[in-house]
Homo-oligomer: A and B are copies of this chain.
Amino acid sequence: MRADAQRNLDRVIGAACECFAEGGVDVSVDDVARRAGVGHGTVFRRFPTKEALLDAVLGKELDRMVLLAQGALVEEDPWDGFAGFFRAAADGYARNRALVESKERCQELPQMLVVQESAHELVRRAQKAHVLRRDLTADEIFELVPAASRFPDVILDGLRG
Protein backbone atom coordinates (compact mmCIF):
# COMPACT_ATOMS: atom_id res chain seq x y z
CA MET A 1 0.00 0.00 0.00
CA ARG A 2 1.27 3.44 -0.88
CA ALA A 3 2.37 5.59 2.04
CA ASP A 4 -0.22 8.33 1.47
CA ALA A 5 -2.98 5.72 1.23
CA GLN A 6 -1.97 4.20 4.56
CA ARG A 7 -1.83 7.62 6.18
CA ASN A 8 -5.30 8.50 4.94
CA LEU A 9 -6.68 5.17 6.07
CA ASP A 10 -5.35 5.79 9.57
CA ARG A 11 -6.85 9.25 9.57
CA VAL A 12 -10.22 7.95 8.44
CA ILE A 13 -10.38 5.28 11.12
CA GLY A 14 -9.32 7.74 13.79
CA ALA A 15 -11.85 10.31 12.69
CA ALA A 16 -14.59 7.67 12.50
CA CYS A 17 -13.83 6.55 16.06
CA GLU A 18 -14.14 10.10 17.34
CA CYS A 19 -17.23 10.96 15.30
CA PHE A 20 -19.21 7.82 16.15
CA ALA A 21 -18.20 7.99 19.80
CA GLU A 22 -19.33 11.60 20.12
CA GLY A 23 -22.29 11.68 17.78
CA GLY A 24 -23.58 8.12 17.54
CA VAL A 25 -24.22 6.06 14.45
CA ASP A 26 -26.21 8.79 12.70
CA VAL A 27 -23.13 10.90 12.03
CA SER A 28 -22.78 11.23 8.25
CA VAL A 29 -19.89 9.82 6.28
CA ASP A 30 -19.24 13.37 5.07
CA ASP A 31 -18.65 14.45 8.66
CA VAL A 32 -16.15 11.65 9.16
CA ALA A 33 -14.38 12.53 5.91
CA ARG A 34 -14.24 16.20 6.82
CA ARG A 35 -12.72 15.45 10.21
CA ALA A 36 -10.21 13.12 8.56
CA GLY A 37 -9.35 15.84 6.04
CA VAL A 38 -10.19 13.72 2.98
CA GLY A 39 -13.01 13.58 0.45
CA HIS A 40 -15.76 11.16 1.24
CA GLY A 41 -14.94 9.21 -1.90
CA THR A 42 -11.75 8.17 -0.14
CA VAL A 43 -13.72 6.80 2.79
CA PHE A 44 -15.90 4.68 0.51
CA ARG A 45 -12.86 3.28 -1.31
CA ARG A 46 -11.63 1.74 1.96
CA PHE A 47 -15.03 0.80 3.36
CA PRO A 48 -17.65 -0.25 0.81
CA THR A 49 -20.53 0.95 2.99
CA LYS A 50 -21.04 3.13 6.02
CA GLU A 51 -21.92 -0.02 7.94
CA ALA A 52 -18.48 -1.50 7.17
CA LEU A 53 -16.86 1.63 8.55
CA LEU A 54 -18.97 1.38 11.68
CA ASP A 55 -18.01 -2.28 12.08
CA ALA A 56 -14.34 -1.34 11.97
CA VAL A 57 -14.84 1.21 14.73
CA LEU A 58 -16.90 -1.15 16.86
CA GLY A 59 -14.31 -3.87 16.32
CA LYS A 60 -11.55 -1.64 17.66
CA GLU A 61 -13.62 -0.84 20.73
CA LEU A 62 -14.40 -4.52 21.32
CA ASP A 63 -10.70 -5.33 21.04
CA ARG A 64 -10.17 -3.03 24.01
CA MET A 65 -12.96 -4.83 25.86
CA VAL A 66 -11.27 -8.17 25.24
CA LEU A 67 -8.09 -6.90 26.88
CA LEU A 68 -10.04 -5.50 29.82
CA ALA A 69 -11.92 -8.74 30.35
CA GLN A 70 -8.81 -10.90 30.19
CA GLY A 71 -7.03 -8.53 32.55
CA ALA A 72 -9.90 -8.89 35.00
CA LEU A 73 -9.62 -12.68 34.89
CA VAL A 74 -6.04 -12.40 36.17
CA GLU A 75 -7.23 -10.58 39.29
CA GLU A 76 -7.45 -13.20 42.03
CA ASP A 77 -10.23 -11.68 44.15
CA PRO A 78 -13.49 -12.70 42.46
CA TRP A 79 -15.35 -9.52 43.36
CA ASP A 80 -12.54 -7.19 42.37
CA GLY A 81 -12.18 -8.96 39.04
CA PHE A 82 -15.87 -8.78 38.27
CA ALA A 83 -16.38 -5.24 39.53
CA GLY A 84 -13.26 -3.97 37.82
CA PHE A 85 -14.40 -5.20 34.45
CA PHE A 86 -17.94 -4.03 35.06
CA ARG A 87 -16.71 -0.53 35.83
CA ALA A 88 -14.35 -0.46 32.86
CA ALA A 89 -17.02 -1.72 30.48
CA ALA A 90 -19.50 0.82 31.80
CA ASP A 91 -16.95 3.54 31.27
CA GLY A 92 -16.37 2.35 27.70
CA TYR A 93 -20.08 2.55 26.98
CA ALA A 94 -20.28 5.98 28.58
CA ARG A 95 -17.55 7.28 26.32
CA ASN A 96 -18.99 5.87 23.11
CA ARG A 97 -22.50 6.60 21.91
CA ALA A 98 -22.15 4.28 18.92
CA LEU A 99 -21.52 1.34 21.23
CA VAL A 100 -24.81 1.92 23.03
CA GLU A 101 -26.71 2.36 19.79
CA SER A 102 -25.23 -0.73 18.12
CA LYS A 103 -25.77 -3.47 20.66
CA GLU A 104 -27.26 -5.93 18.19
CA ARG A 105 -24.62 -5.15 15.55
CA CYS A 106 -21.91 -5.93 18.12
CA GLN A 107 -23.43 -9.37 18.63
CA GLU A 108 -22.41 -10.18 15.05
CA LEU A 109 -18.75 -9.29 15.57
CA PRO A 110 -16.34 -12.12 16.45
CA GLN A 111 -14.69 -10.25 19.33
CA MET A 112 -18.00 -10.19 21.17
CA LEU A 113 -17.85 -13.94 21.67
CA VAL A 114 -14.52 -13.63 23.47
CA VAL A 115 -15.80 -10.80 25.65
CA GLN A 116 -18.90 -12.75 26.58
CA GLU A 117 -16.93 -15.86 27.45
CA SER A 118 -14.65 -13.93 29.77
CA ALA A 119 -17.53 -12.02 31.27
CA HIS A 120 -19.43 -15.23 31.98
CA GLU A 121 -16.38 -16.66 33.73
CA LEU A 122 -16.05 -13.50 35.85
CA VAL A 123 -19.69 -13.83 36.89
CA ARG A 124 -19.38 -17.58 37.58
CA ARG A 125 -16.39 -17.04 39.84
CA ALA A 126 -18.01 -14.22 41.77
CA GLN A 127 -21.26 -16.09 42.22
CA LYS A 128 -19.43 -19.22 43.38
CA ALA A 129 -17.66 -17.09 46.01
CA HIS A 130 -21.06 -15.72 47.10
CA VAL A 131 -20.07 -12.11 46.53
CA LEU A 132 -22.49 -11.60 43.62
CA ARG A 133 -26.24 -12.10 43.70
CA ARG A 134 -27.32 -15.34 42.07
CA ASP A 135 -30.83 -14.48 40.93
CA LEU A 136 -29.54 -13.01 37.67
CA THR A 137 -27.78 -14.70 34.78
CA ALA A 138 -24.51 -13.36 33.42
CA ASP A 139 -26.33 -12.09 30.33
CA GLU A 140 -28.82 -10.21 32.46
CA ILE A 141 -26.07 -8.70 34.58
CA PHE A 142 -24.25 -7.36 31.55
CA GLU A 143 -27.42 -5.85 30.19
CA LEU A 144 -26.90 -3.44 33.08
CA VAL A 145 -23.53 -2.28 31.78
CA PRO A 146 -24.80 0.56 29.58
CA ALA A 147 -27.05 1.60 32.44
CA ALA A 148 -24.11 1.81 34.82
CA SER A 149 -22.28 4.50 32.91
CA ARG A 150 -23.27 7.29 35.28
CA PHE A 151 -23.20 5.71 38.76
CA PRO A 152 -21.52 2.32 38.61
CA ASP A 153 -21.16 2.16 42.39
CA VAL A 154 -24.91 2.23 42.88
CA ILE A 155 -25.47 -0.62 40.46
CA LEU A 156 -22.57 -2.61 41.91
CA ASP A 157 -24.02 -2.16 45.39
CA GLY A 158 -27.27 -3.55 44.04
CA LEU A 159 -25.47 -6.50 42.47
CA ARG A 160 -23.34 -7.47 45.48
CA GLY A 161 -24.47 -10.77 46.96
A residues with a Cβ closer than 8 A to B are 133, 136, 140, 143-144, 146-148, 150-151, 153-159
List 8 A–B pairs whose Cβ atoms lie within 8 Å, in order of A's numbering: A136-B154, A140-B151, A143-B150, A144-B151, A147-B147, A147-B148, A154-B158, A155-B158
Copies in the complex: 2
Partner of A156, one of B143, B148, B151, B158: B158
Highest count of chain B CB atoms <10 Å: which of A136, A158, A159:
A158
Does more than half of chain A's interface fall in helix, strand or loop, or is it mixed? helix
Give complex CA distance A10, B157 in Å.
46
Enumerate chain B residues within 8 angstroms of A143, measured Cβ to Cβ: 150-151
List 18 additional contacts besides A147-B148, A154-B159; criterion CB under 8 Å.
A133-B154, A136-B151, A136-B154, A140-B151, A143-B150, A144-B147, A144-B150, A144-B151, A146-B147, A147-B147, A147-B150, A154-B155, A154-B158, A156-B158, A157-B157, A157-B158, A158-B158, A158-B159
Give complex CA distance A137, B143 in Å.
25
Enumerate chain B residues within 8 angstroms of A158, measured Cβ to Cβ: 153-159
Which chain B residue lies CB-closest to A159? B154
